[in-house]
Chains A and B, each alone.
Chain A
């Protein structure tokens, strides 16, 4: 999870943010004004200040917000002047847009607001579709409008060139006022809500911003996106009544509250129409009590009624935005907010604390309990989070448990804090987790305040406490931790402070018609802030004022405004889910005191045991086992059993045809081998025509254990060198995921033991990744790159490292970066294990949670017929109505499962518009027939159409990886170093997922994640980058051409300019890798190219030389060794796609090598050998010209 922020405003209008890794509220000090409300997205936060204007705070990023303006200069040739600006009357403007229709002189370009600045002056674009143009950038054509070429021909009568200028948004991390429109808005804004970023990814960073004015009108801000963070204008969206509050979810939900207390729902919101088309009405949850607040997420709606009751709307989704019914939830709140992942925050009516709804998952959207966020604000007395941390690390030294640090040091809290403030540290509403259906007559449920114990550890205990001795509890707990409420009501005197009456007196003071929805009246609150002690006056104002008063009373007692009173919270930018480990909640000493007393109580109450001592011994022994062993099961046993057998039932993909899964017995026999290494044999016992047979593999011959993607079975493959040659591993399936992981962990440890491999991967390690996202690492020997007899590739031993990545890059200093399927960047912590590896197969102090998200795609196919038009009834020969991309396999929305049982769905099916070839407004692509090339518009020749649906799924695992927020990446490269070189700062370059080129600063051995990004400007997005041992940086742009970055050096890590290098003829490059001196690229057709003529004085080289086809990816190492992922490799039994191959015969004078050696595969997607700087031993042989013996036996790659 990236580090993100929860935003909140206190009753005095001060804006605070709380980081997901933080332990205190940070005051947003650059907010010069007081704010009423804020609404956050991940990239920015919007707010309404007390001047009723709207302000925007765009979070700073290493990636600038940069907008490219362009305009075209057009010229026509005439015999007198040659090319000149004298155009024909029918021609376009001399300065125009690309179409020529729009007059666009340079002077007409203005900065949109004072938050922008120009990066530089206009310059000519000297690039046409990946090809460099002549110096002045002219492109020629016969006439306007036409196809332009970079060469002037005899018939070129017109020419044009493109001028570019960049502007940059500069007001980062500060509240910038959104300029008011020329046509002044009728009245000031009172509410604001942003969301809608899941509706469409185009344009990048698109947001919907809804606002409500004091007159109850609704406004929509047009055109907000990454490149236009401020949006362009307000458009009125007339509601059917006077709106007081609005809420916009991340998806297409928008709900608003009307003044009368009813709700309206915006319908028809879609990608094409983010504003929606119409309003529908929904009744308030309680007929007598109007709604004052609504909050929506992706699939949830929460509401608060005027009696502060909280309601959850059942059955809400995209197709039914109105939902089906209300459910009354526990808790009394004044406002509520739904953030990312449908997580819920609220501000409690009683104590004005921010509460987080715990246990909200996609299957249980209503969550479980409210939990108060109890962290201090910066500048307040610290609750000593530092000491808590040290405690935590000492106490959980080897614990495999989820770490839940106890934030508050008990003793300290007891000493330093007056008892009153302990009570706020944790309040959980007692066991009312089950739903209460909305009562039809609310009168039957009088507005009685539940008897809520102030200090509880969980709902169970609190129930016990409150049930046992209700009266005594309030008194008993009071001495230890008096409830805040009791302390601060000044005039209630002898009254039973916990009875319903006193509270109702206060809440009801404003009367039912009180305009409570108007939230915070800042001015009034501030006046009260000054008038200390004006209790009697303010009690009679609105309920809010009484709360403000209530805080003043506290100040009298304790001197400091210890307890923050919150007015507003926004979680729209706060990325947490039910797995997140937050340090926002703390328990107090009193909690454990209550816990203990309850325990002793329950013991004495329990029926007399004839043998209490015996029971005691059983219980204590069991506790002892928990205490002394549960967290340490991964420790080695002191006494080993000599032969040890693990057996189990498995399924095996049998070797003979017809291949199918058959039930087998699976056994691992382990014994102590030579030199103390443990060794073992793996047995698979099966029946062959009634005959019992078995298959076995020696553990020390197993080269890899690979989890295999299978949507229904838990399968993995076992390879030996022989099996790798055959391209036919032993495939087995376990009954459950747990069983598979147990086996994998055990077998993996056995394999490592038998080879004496332990601990973290070495700095020279070779890393690779399967298409499933599993990470493998192999320890190279110096013989791996030996000449002429290198270690055969299929004998390499690979072990798995926890985590999930799409790409990994390393260098020989041990710096390793990875990129997830969701483009998150990760850095290797130096640990090993994680995932299903536990105990000694895993390091303990540098394993972290890792998540990844990817999309699963299915296709909806239709055929046109003259009667009904396009229908889902195809012809008999046709494909399935719902299929995979090939059309051969049926994939329905309901039948399609996540890729493996480790993945869970996190979104619903949605039409995917980002398909190559384009789509129409409904996502359809058309073609003459299946299968054909599709286009995004219908012609009369098109008889079939299809559209792609995507659904996101998520995996949560652990591994030795730490996130490098916040910029998502698509490629990364780390400078490969020679074996003995010492580099202080390691050059790391990357491509963001939007194609920006980035240079990472501050990467050292101690800080492998670096410190910040330096943006390197390009005129088009990039897709691949690689830095060589001499800091030579090569990139591949999206148009398929290559670029070389000039003048990159230590003092000038980002270089100074790009040199354009055309791609091989008619090929679009997709990946580049640069070793010590060699430069290799792969194009989109699977060709591997070597750059000829690269010399220190001419580092760009001269031409491309074809090396091989059938290549998916290349990695060139610090020895200029070349490794690839080959698309297809034929083995003796089968063919493998995605195979690791090693270039043989690479020598200093022969950098292109001679032939390929084939290693592990298929299913491999990525390899990096850039850490392996181990020089091979030098062996001189009489004849170097003989063909390589191994290469002679290996089959050639299959044609692509």
Chain B
């Protein structure tokens, strides 16, 4: 059949956008009424990287002395800037009506919930450390350590400026593995859940079983989060979302890691309750 190329998945993942409506927290002191601000947020990026315009928009109606560090909140939940935007959306707002309504705050920064982010260099540092951590799992850090400083910069600039080709020209190297191994050493993944205090589940998990069978998404969940699976005769309770979609459980984990990882090279998996309505 004329199946689309697997590379198309990379583009789809990269160019995923979430229509978002930013509104100013009504408690903020403004000089005049702040209009909502609408943006298409890249799913694979981070809030501080893509919200310069939002900040500028709301600062227009505020006095400088009323402005502290900007942070975001969705329906009472402060949004962690160091999670990819798509993960935040899937975790907190999947199955809701679009656009995604985010509230913008300029005071009362929730120190207990969020990390401070005084500049984008903090995001860059976080992003690069994720990449390094992932490569440690995948290749014992061999690939990322072989890269030069400018190569690291290229990965970050690619993400920051939404340059797919620039990013993938370098990221391609991070996705390679010896054919005989059948995959990475370990799959860099994180499993997020809404109904837990734990930030996420992250353990060592190989893409291939000892008896040389490819591990699947189902295998991973069975080991990491069996509750996420639906047993026979049971009502489905959880959706397993990656980039807003629900891959079949028989999807090979290695393929997922290569194609559905975020630019930070982690496979971010959200387990959310099935909507009740």
A residues neighboring B (CB under 8 Å): 394-395, 397-398, 612-618, 620-625, 627-629, 631-632, 635-639, 641-642, 676
Main secondary structure of the interface of B (DSSP, over half): mixed
Which interface residue of A616, A617, A637, A676 has the most chain B CB atoms within 10 A? A617
Contacts A613-B252, A628-B17, A628-B244 aside, 17 further interface pairs with beta carbons under 8 A come to A395-B97, A397-B97, A398-B38, A613-B247, A616-B251, A624-B16, A628-B18, A628-B98, A629-B17, A632-B19, A632-B40, A635-B99, A636-B38, A638-B39, A638-B45, A639-B49, A642-B161
Q: Mark B1-44, 1 if CB is under 8 A from A, else 0.
A: 00110101100110011110000000000000000001111100
- CB-CB under 8 A from A618, the residues of chain B are 3-4, 8-9
Question: B99 near A398 (CB under 8 angstroms)?
Answer: yes
Which interface residue of B19, B45, B162, B247 has the most chain A CB atoms within 10 A? B19
Question: A613 near B17 (CB under 8 angstroms)?
Answer: no
Question: A635 near B4 (CB under 8 angstroms)?
Answer: no
- CB-CB under 8 A from B9, the residues of chain A are 617-618, 621
Any A CB within 8 A of the CB of B250: yes
From residue B103, how far is it (CB to closest CB) to chain A in Å?
A: 16
Partner of A624, one of B56, B244, B251, B255: B244
Q: Mark B87-105, 1 if CB is under 8 A from A, else 0.
A: 0000000000111000000
From residue B96, how far is it (CB to closest CB) to chain A in Å?
A: 11
Question: A641 near B247 (CB under 8 angstroms)?
Answer: no
Question: B50 near A639 (CB under 8 angstroms)?
Answer: yes
From residue A699, how far is it (CB to closest CB) to chain B in Å?
A: 20
Which residues B225-245 have CB closer than 8 A to chain A?
Answer: 243-245
From residue A370, how far is it (CB to closest CB) to chain B in Å?
A: 33
Question: B19 near A621 (CB under 8 angstroms)?
Answer: no
- CB-CB under 8 A from B42, the residues of chain A are 638-639
Which interface residue of B6, B12, B243 has the most chain A CB atoms within 10 A? B12
- CB-CB under 8 A from A639, the residues of chain B are 42, 45, 49-50, 160-162
Partner of B53, one of A614, A631, A638: A638
Question: B50 near A638 (CB under 8 angstroms)?
Answer: yes
Q: Mark B249-263, 1 if CB is under 8 A from A, else 0.
A: 011100100011000
Given A612-B250, A618-B4: A628 and B19 interface contact (C-beta under 8 Å)? yes
Which interface residue of B9, B49, B51, B245 has the most chain A CB atoms within 10 A? B245
Residue on B with the closest CB to A607?
B1
- CB-CB under 8 A from A395, the residues of chain B are 97
Question: B40 near A635 (CB under 8 angstroms)?
Answer: yes
From residue A992, how far is it (CB to closest CB) to chain B in Å?
A: 40
Question: A635 near B19 (CB under 8 angstroms)?
Answer: yes
- Whole-angstrom distance between the alpha carbons of A984 and B175 in the complex? 70
Main secondary structure of the interface of A (DSSP, over half): helix
Can you spell out 10 A-B residue pairs with CB atoms less than 8 angstroms apart? Answer: A613-B248, A618-B4, A618-B8, A622-B12, A624-B245, A628-B244, A632-B98, A636-B40, A638-B39, A641-B161
Question: B40 near A617 (CB under 8 angstroms)?
Answer: no
Question: B245 near A398 (CB under 8 angstroms)?
Answer: no
Given A614-B3, A616-B248, A624-B16: A629 and B243 interface contact (C-beta under 8 Å)? no
Residue on A with the closest CB to B89?
A628
- CB-CB under 8 A from B244, the residues of chain A are 624, 628
Any A CB within 8 A of the CB of B246: yes
Residue on A with the closest CB to B256?
A617
- CB-CB under 8 A from B12, the residues of chain A are 621-622, 624-625
- Whole-angstrom distance between the alpha carbons of A399 and B40 in the complex? 14
- Whole-angstrom distance between the alpha carbons of A614 and B251 in the complex? 7
Complex A-B, nearest 7 residue pairs according to Cβ-Cβ distance, in ascending order: A632-B19, A638-B50, A620-B245, A613-B251, A613-B248, A639-B162, A621-B12
Which residues B46-61 have CB closer than 8 A to chain A?
Answer: 49-51, 53, 56
- Whole-angstrom distance between the alpha carbons of A1153 and B45 in the complex? 61
Partner of B38, one of A614, A635, A642: A635
- CB-CB under 8 A from B162, the residues of chain A are 637, 639, 641
Total residues of chain B contacting the partner, CB 8 A = 40
From residue A403, how far is it (CB to closest CB) to chain B in Å?
A: 15
Question: B19 near A398 (CB under 8 angstroms)?
Answer: yes
Which interface residue of B17, B50, B162, B246 has the most chain A CB atoms within 10 A? B17
- CB-CB under 8 A from A621, the residues of chain B are 9, 12-13, 243, 245
Question: A615 near B243 (CB under 8 angstroms)?
Answer: no
- CB-CB under 8 A from B41, the residues of chain A are 638
Question: A617 near B250 (CB under 8 angstroms)?
Answer: no
- Whole-angstrom distance between the alpha carbons of A1136 and B209 in the complex? 81
Question: B99 near A636 (CB under 8 angstroms)?
Answer: no
- CB-CB under 8 A from B252, the residues of chain A are 613
Residue on A with the closest CB to B98?
A628
- Whole-angstrom distance between the alpha carbons of A613 and B249 in the complex? 8
- CB-CB under 8 A from B56, the residues of chain A are 676
From residue B261, how far is it (CB to closest CB) to chain A in Å?
A: 13
Question: A615 near B3 (CB under 8 angstroms)?
Answer: yes
From residue B180, how far is it (CB to closest CB) to chain A in Å?
A: 22
Given A398-B38, A635-B39: A628 and B250 interface contact (C-beta under 8 Å)? no
Question: A631 near B248 (CB under 8 angstroms)?
Answer: no
Question: A612 near B17 (CB under 8 angstroms)?
Answer: no
- Whole-angstrom distance between the alpha carbons of A618 and B16 in the complex? 13
From residue A292, how far is it (CB to closest CB) to chain B in Å?
A: 49
Residue on B with the closest CB to A839?
B38
Residue on A with the closest CB to B38?
A635
- CB-CB under 8 A from B160, the residues of chain A are 639
- CB-CB under 8 A from A616, the residues of chain B are 247-248, 251
From residue A822, how far is it (CB to closest CB) to chain B in Å?
A: 36
Question: A631 near B39 (CB under 8 angstroms)?
Answer: no
From residue B244, how far is it (CB to closest CB) to chain A in Å?
A: 5
- CB-CB under 8 A from B8, the residues of chain A are 618
- CB-CB under 8 A from B53, the residues of chain A are 636, 638
- Whole-angstrom distance between the alpha carbons of A398 and B244 in the complex? 21
Question: B98 near A631 (CB under 8 angstroms)?
Answer: yes
Which interface residue of A613, A632, A638 has the most chain B CB atoms within 10 A? A638
- CB-CB under 8 A from B39, the residues of chain A are 635-638
- CB-CB under 8 A from B17, the residues of chain A are 628-629, 632, 637
Residue on B with the closest CB to A615?
B3
- Whole-angstrom distance between the alpha carbons of A616 and B250 in the complex? 11
From residue B8, how far is it (CB to closest CB) to chain A in Å?
A: 8
- CB-CB under 8 A from B259, the residues of chain A are 617
From residue B80, how far is it (CB to closest CB) to chain A in Å?
A: 18
Residue on A with the closest CB to B251?
A613
From residue B162, how far is it (CB to closest CB) to chain A in Å?
A: 4
- CB-CB under 8 A from B247, the residues of chain A are 613, 616-617, 620
From residue A749, how far is it (CB to closest CB) to chain B in Å?
A: 15
Question: B97 near A625 (CB under 8 angstroms)?
Answer: no
- Whole-angstrom distance between the alpha carbons of A622 and B12 in the complex? 8
- CB-CB under 8 A from B251, the residues of chain A are 613-614, 616-617
From residue A251, how far is it (CB to closest CB) to chain B in Å?
A: 47
From residue A638, how far is it (CB to closest CB) to chain B in Å?
A: 4
Residue on B with the closest CB to A616?
B248
- Whole-angstrom distance between the alpha carbons of A398 and B100 in the complex? 12
Which interface residue of A614, A629, A642 has the most chain B CB atoms within 10 A? A614
- Whole-angstrom distance between the alpha carbons of A485 and B145 in the complex? 76
Which residues B186-244 have CB closer than 8 A to chain A?
Answer: 243-244
- CB-CB under 8 A from B40, the residues of chain A are 629, 632, 635-638
- Whole-angstrom distance between the alpha carbons of A398 and B251 in the complex? 35
Residue on B with the closest CB to A395?
B97
From residue B100, how far is it (CB to closest CB) to chain A in Å?
A: 9
- Whole-angstrom distance between the alpha carbons of A613 and B251 in the complex? 5
From residue A125, how far is it (CB to closest CB) to chain B in Å?
A: 59
Which residues B149-164 have CB closer than 8 A to chain A?
Answer: 160-162
- CB-CB under 8 A from B4, the residues of chain A are 618
- CB-CB under 8 A from A612, the residues of chain B are 248, 250
Residue on A with the closest CB to B249?
A613
- Whole-angstrom distance between the alpha carbons of A1019 and B40 in the complex? 61
- CB-CB under 8 A from B6, the residues of chain A are 614
- CB-CB under 8 A from B243, the residues of chain A are 621, 624
- CB-CB under 8 A from A622, the residues of chain B are 12
Question: A627 near B3 (CB under 8 angstroms)?
Answer: no
